[in-house]
Protein backbone atom coordinates (compact mmCIF):
# COMPACT_ATOMS: atom_id res chain seq x y z
CA UNK A 1 0.00 0.00 0.00
CA UNK A 2 1.48 3.30 -1.11
CA UNK A 3 0.93 7.00 -1.62
CA UNK A 4 2.20 7.81 -5.11
CA UNK A 5 2.95 10.82 -7.28
CA UNK A 6 2.16 10.56 -11.00
CA UNK A 7 3.83 13.03 -13.35
CA UNK A 8 2.74 13.82 -16.90
CA UNK A 9 6.08 14.34 -18.66
CA UNK A 10 5.00 16.70 -21.51
CA UNK A 11 3.25 19.19 -19.17
CA UNK A 12 4.95 18.48 -15.84
CA UNK A 13 1.56 18.32 -14.14
CA UNK A 14 1.25 15.92 -11.22
CA UNK A 15 -1.32 13.80 -9.43
CA UNK A 16 -1.23 12.39 -5.87
CA UNK A 17 -3.16 9.24 -5.01
CA UNK A 18 -3.19 6.00 -3.04
CA UNK A 19 -2.76 2.46 -4.36
CA UNK A 20 -3.56 -0.55 -2.18
CA UNK A 21 -1.81 -3.05 -4.47
CA UNK A 22 1.04 -0.77 -5.62
CA UNK A 23 0.41 -1.72 -9.25
CA UNK A 24 3.05 -0.36 -11.67
CA UNK A 25 0.36 0.09 -14.34
CA UNK A 26 -1.98 2.18 -12.17
CA UNK A 27 -1.44 5.94 -12.42
CA UNK A 28 -4.58 7.33 -10.83
CA UNK A 29 -8.33 7.74 -11.27
CA UNK A 30 -8.66 11.52 -11.53
CA UNK A 31 -10.57 13.01 -14.47
CA UNK A 32 -7.46 14.56 -16.08
CA UNK A 33 -5.41 11.38 -15.62
CA UNK A 34 -8.16 9.32 -17.27
CA UNK A 35 -8.32 11.75 -20.19
CA UNK A 36 -4.54 11.59 -20.67
CA UNK A 37 -4.60 7.78 -20.66
CA UNK A 38 -7.53 7.81 -23.11
CA UNK A 39 -5.81 10.14 -25.60
CA UNK A 40 -2.09 9.33 -25.13
CA UNK A 41 -1.95 6.00 -23.36
CA UNK A 42 0.38 5.58 -20.37
CA UNK A 43 3.67 6.17 -22.17
CA UNK A 44 3.99 9.79 -20.97
CA UNK A 45 3.22 9.03 -17.30
CA UNK A 46 5.80 8.36 -14.57
CA UNK A 47 4.87 7.05 -11.12
CA UNK A 48 6.98 7.64 -8.01
CA UNK A 49 6.31 6.42 -4.46
CA UNK A 50 5.95 9.13 -1.84
CA UNK A 51 5.29 6.83 1.12
CA UNK A 52 4.59 3.21 2.02
CA UNK A 53 1.70 2.44 4.38
CA UNK A 54 1.22 -0.65 6.51
CA UNK A 55 -2.60 -0.61 6.81
CA UNK A 56 -5.69 0.72 5.03
CA UNK A 57 -6.72 2.79 8.05
CA UNK A 58 -3.65 5.02 7.60
CA UNK A 59 -3.77 5.11 3.81
CA UNK A 60 -6.42 7.85 3.45
CA UNK A 61 -4.88 9.89 6.28
CA UNK A 62 -1.43 9.83 4.68
CA UNK A 63 -2.87 10.66 1.26
CA UNK A 64 -4.56 13.72 2.76
CA UNK A 65 -1.30 14.69 4.44
CA UNK A 66 0.49 14.82 1.08
CA UNK A 67 -2.42 16.57 -0.64
CA UNK A 68 -2.34 19.31 1.98
CA UNK A 69 1.47 19.46 1.99
CA UNK A 70 1.46 20.45 -1.69
CA UNK A 71 -1.86 22.36 -1.36
CA UNK A 72 -2.94 20.66 -4.57
CA UNK A 73 -6.34 22.34 -4.89
CA UNK A 74 -4.63 25.73 -5.20
CA UNK A 75 -1.58 24.53 -7.13
CA UNK A 76 -2.05 24.73 -10.94
CA UNK A 77 0.67 22.10 -11.45
CA UNK A 78 -1.48 19.43 -9.78
CA UNK A 79 -4.41 17.60 -11.35
CA UNK A 80 -6.06 16.86 -7.98
CA UNK A 81 -9.11 19.04 -7.39
CA UNK A 82 -9.19 18.97 -3.59
CA UNK A 83 -6.97 18.57 -0.55
CA UNK A 84 -9.33 15.90 0.79
CA UNK A 85 -8.78 12.16 0.38
CA UNK A 86 -11.67 10.12 -1.02
CA UNK A 87 -12.33 6.42 -1.55
CA UNK A 88 -11.46 5.31 1.98
CA UNK A 89 -13.46 6.27 5.06
CA UNK A 90 -10.59 5.39 7.39
CA UNK A 91 -12.95 3.13 9.36
CA UNK A 92 -11.76 -0.30 10.43
CA UNK A 93 -13.40 -3.42 9.00
CA UNK A 94 -14.94 -4.11 12.40
CA UNK A 95 -16.55 -0.65 12.55
CA UNK A 96 -17.86 -0.99 8.99
CA UNK A 97 -19.42 -4.36 9.88
CA UNK A 98 -21.13 -2.90 12.96
CA UNK A 99 -22.64 -0.08 10.88
CA UNK A 100 -23.85 -2.56 8.26
CA UNK A 101 -25.39 -4.92 10.83
CA UNK A 102 -27.12 -2.06 12.66
CA UNK A 103 -28.96 -1.06 9.46
CA UNK A 104 -30.18 -4.58 8.64
CA UNK A 105 -33.82 -5.29 9.39
CA UNK A 106 -34.78 -1.63 9.86
CA UNK A 107 -38.09 -0.79 8.14
CA UNK A 108 -37.87 1.84 5.41
CA UNK A 109 -39.68 5.11 6.03
CA UNK A 110 -42.87 5.95 4.16
CA UNK A 111 -41.02 8.64 2.23
CA UNK A 112 -38.31 6.18 1.15
CA UNK A 113 -40.90 3.65 -0.02
CA UNK A 114 -42.79 6.35 -1.95
CA UNK A 115 -39.58 7.49 -3.66
CA UNK A 116 -38.78 3.91 -4.68
CA UNK A 117 -42.31 3.47 -6.05
CA UNK A 118 -42.08 6.71 -8.07
CA UNK A 119 -38.79 5.57 -9.54
CA UNK A 120 -40.44 2.44 -10.91
CA UNK A 121 -43.53 4.20 -12.28
CA UNK A 122 -43.92 3.78 -16.02
CA UNK A 123 -41.10 1.29 -16.25
CA UNK A 124 -41.65 -2.25 -17.49
CA UNK A 125 -39.54 -5.32 -17.01
CA UNK A 126 -37.34 -6.39 -19.89
CA UNK A 127 -39.06 -9.16 -21.81
CA UNK A 128 -37.36 -11.84 -23.85
CA UNK A 129 -38.44 -11.93 -27.47
CA UNK A 130 -40.42 -15.10 -28.21
CA UNK A 131 -39.16 -17.16 -31.16
CA UNK A 132 -41.57 -17.31 -34.08
CA UNK A 133 -40.96 -21.07 -34.35
CA UNK A 134 -41.54 -21.79 -30.66
CA UNK A 135 -43.17 -25.19 -30.18
CA UNK A 136 -42.28 -26.41 -33.66
CA UNK A 137 -39.75 -29.21 -34.26
CA UNK A 138 -36.55 -27.58 -35.44
CA UNK A 139 -34.19 -30.38 -36.52
CA UNK A 140 -31.86 -30.01 -39.52
CA UNK A 141 -32.78 -27.42 -42.13
CA UNK A 142 -34.23 -28.90 -45.38
CA UNK A 143 -31.31 -27.56 -47.44
CA UNK A 144 -28.68 -29.21 -45.22
CA UNK A 145 -30.71 -32.41 -44.99
CA UNK A 146 -30.94 -32.69 -48.80
CA UNK A 147 -27.23 -31.97 -49.26
CA UNK A 148 -26.38 -34.76 -46.81
CA UNK A 149 -28.48 -37.17 -48.81
CA UNK A 150 -26.96 -36.30 -52.18
CA UNK A 151 -23.29 -35.85 -51.34
CA UNK A 152 -20.75 -38.56 -52.23
CA UNK A 153 -19.67 -39.87 -48.83
CA UNK A 154 -16.93 -42.01 -50.37
CA UNK A 155 -15.08 -38.86 -51.40
CA UNK A 156 -14.43 -38.17 -47.70
CA UNK A 157 -12.96 -41.62 -46.96
CA UNK A 158 -9.22 -42.05 -46.52
CA UNK A 159 -7.88 -45.29 -48.04
CA UNK A 160 -6.05 -47.74 -45.77
CA UNK A 161 -3.31 -50.16 -46.83
CA UNK A 162 -2.58 -53.50 -45.14
CA UNK A 163 1.06 -54.67 -45.14
CA UNK A 164 2.66 -57.89 -44.00
CA UNK A 165 5.55 -57.72 -41.54
CA UNK A 166 8.05 -57.56 -44.40
CA UNK A 167 6.42 -54.46 -45.84
CA UNK A 168 4.61 -56.09 -48.74
CA UNK A 169 1.14 -54.79 -49.62
CA UNK A 170 -1.55 -57.32 -48.77
CA UNK A 171 -4.65 -55.30 -49.62
CA UNK A 172 -6.00 -51.79 -49.96
CA UNK A 173 -9.31 -50.74 -48.39
CA UNK A 174 -11.51 -47.72 -49.11
CA UNK A 175 -11.55 -46.72 -45.48
CA UNK A 176 -10.55 -47.80 -41.98
CA UNK A 177 -14.14 -48.85 -41.35
CA UNK A 178 -14.13 -51.14 -44.38
CA UNK A 179 -10.85 -52.72 -43.26
CA UNK A 180 -12.25 -53.27 -39.79
CA UNK A 181 -15.48 -54.80 -41.14
CA UNK A 182 -13.65 -57.21 -43.45
CA UNK A 183 -10.79 -58.27 -41.15
CA UNK A 184 -12.66 -57.96 -37.86
CA UNK A 185 -9.52 -56.33 -36.43
CA UNK A 186 -9.18 -53.20 -34.32
CA UNK A 187 -6.70 -51.26 -36.44
CA UNK A 188 -7.19 -47.69 -35.20
CA UNK A 189 -4.23 -47.73 -32.79
CA UNK A 190 -1.98 -49.13 -35.48
CA UNK A 191 -3.09 -46.41 -37.89
CA UNK A 192 -2.37 -43.75 -35.29
CA UNK A 193 1.05 -45.22 -34.52
CA UNK A 194 0.39 -46.06 -30.88
CA UNK A 195 0.94 -49.74 -31.71
CA UNK A 196 3.14 -51.19 -34.45
CA UNK A 197 0.78 -53.88 -35.71
CA UNK A 198 -2.71 -55.29 -35.42
CA UNK A 199 -3.56 -58.90 -36.16
CA UNK A 200 0.03 -59.51 -37.31
CA UNK A 201 -0.17 -56.81 -39.99
CA UNK A 202 1.09 -53.27 -40.42
CA UNK A 203 -1.63 -50.70 -41.16
CA UNK A 204 -1.15 -47.28 -42.74
CA UNK A 205 -3.25 -44.61 -44.34
CA UNK A 206 -2.58 -44.22 -48.05
CA UNK A 207 -0.45 -41.15 -48.78
The yes-or-no verdict on residue 88 having pLDDT over 50 is no
Residue 132 is assigned to a structural domain of this protein = no
Residue 146 is assigned to a structural domain of this protein = no
pLDDT at 120: 67
Q: Across residues 193-202, what is the average pLDDT?
A: 89
pLDDT at 134: 62
Please tell me which residue, 49 or 124, carries the higher pLDDT value.
49
pLDDT tens profile 91-114? 555 665 666 676 666 666 677 777
Residue 51 CB contacts under 8 Å (≥ 6 apart), including other chains: 2, 3, 62, 66
pLDDT tens profile 114-169? 777 766 666 555 555 566 666 666 655 565 556 555 666 566 678 999 999 988 99
pLDDT tens profile 59-81? 888 998 999 999 988 999 999 88
The last residue of a domain, from among 55, 74, 93: 74
Residue 164 to residue 200: CA distance in whole angstroms: 7
Residue 178 is assigned to a structural domain of this protein = yes
The last residue of a domain, from among 19, 39, 74: 74
Q: Across residues 180-197, what is the average pLDDT?
A: 88
Which residues form the domain of 165?
155-205
Per the structure, how many domains does the chain have? 2
Residue 97 is assigned to a structural domain of this protein = no
Q: 7: domain CATH number?
A: 3.40.1440.10
Residue 47 to residue 6: CA distance in whole angstroms: 4
The last residue of a domain, from among 59, 74, 89: 74
pTM (2 decimals)? 0.42
Residue 196 to residue 165: CA distance in whole angstroms: 10
Residue 96 is assigned to a structural domain of this protein = no
Residue 138, SS3? coil
Residue 42 is assigned to a structural domain of this protein = yes
Q: Across residues 38-44, what is the average pLDDT?
A: 89
Residue 93 is assigned to a structural domain of this protein = no
Residue 150 is assigned to a structural domain of this protein = no
Amino acid sequence: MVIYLTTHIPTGKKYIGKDVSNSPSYFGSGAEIKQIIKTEGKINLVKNILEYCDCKENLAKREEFWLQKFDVENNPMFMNRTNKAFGNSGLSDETKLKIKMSSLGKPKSTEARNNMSKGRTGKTRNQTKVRSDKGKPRGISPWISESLKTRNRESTFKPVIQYDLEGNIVREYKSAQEAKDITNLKIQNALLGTTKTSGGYIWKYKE
